[in-house]
A and B are shown apart, each in its own frame.
Chain A
């Protein structure tokens, strides 16, 4: 097997250059698909025969909830790689991804609560699905707080990798909570093995939203990781070059604006 790719992936400069090239495409694709999916879901999808139009919240709720968990799984994979191979980029991924994951977890909880009011008659119940999602939010917050507590980057990387890996326990609990315990929450909308219970006019916009949110996530992640690379690689020649170039550009732009 050829491991060149794996080694390149570990190089911050290589990743930086690649992300500069790819990021605009992901951003465009993400915004485009999210707009299409939202308009489709809000205005064109048929209404639910039981829930009426409040079911349209699904087009935000499910994609954000999927990403909240999938972001955590990616962080866990990254934490493992970081611990075993001491790859710099792995820890940068965790630092860059955690706040996005937290934001999506918040949105999943918020839209779930707002959806719950007209559907279940309550904003919140302490059942397994909702509680385990709240735990996920606190895992993200804990991780972000932990980063701030360390001066030394290597120590911080090790500590957060361990926290991420311990927290993985929560992910199957979220996933199977609707099957293991009695809950108000409905079972999974999408599964890999079965056809969705909804008609295509309903689940197609949802699929568009899910793909869109992955693309959007990737683009934001690239931006955040680039910032992280700039800070950590600030002593290298190539980062110094970028900093010099951009600050000079900005200064000359200021001079043009002030005659």
Chain B
């Protein structure tokens, strides 16, 4: 451990604001990078499932096979 106490660690020899600002913003950006594709996947599955259901029901009615795809 490079620091004598926890408050030393937080203050970073007077540079605490700069150091923690960098690490804080980076943490937020990293989390965003990781979460966005997970949410994106949910919405992609939802939309594609909707299209597929529409196509299935149209098929049953005897309409054209390839519905209105976006």
Contact = CB atoms under 8 A, between A and B. Distances in A.
A45 interface: yes
Contacts of A57: 18-19, 22
A9 to B, nearest CB: 21
A243 B23 CA distance: 38
A201 B46 CA distance: 49
Contacts of A164: none
B3 A43 contact: yes
Contacts, number: 103
Interface string B3-19: 10000010011111011
Query: Interface residues of A toward B: which range?
Result: 35 or more
Interface stretch (A47-55, A83-91, A191-199): A47-55
Interface string A38-67: 100011111100001110110011001000
A178 to B, nearest CB: 21
Contacts of A234: 48, 51, 69
Interface residues of B, number: 34
B22 A45 contact: no
A223 interface: yes
Contact of A224 (B13, B16, B21, B37): B37
Interface of B: 1-3, 9, 12-16, 18-19, 21-23, 25-26, 29-30, 32-34, 36-38, 40-41, 44-46, 48-49, 51-52, 69
Interface of A: 27, 34, 38, 42-47, 52-54, 56-57, 60-61, 64, 99-100, 103, 106-107, 110-111, 114-115, 117-118, 216, 220, 223-224, 226-227, 230-231, 234-235, 239-240, 243-244, 246-247, 250
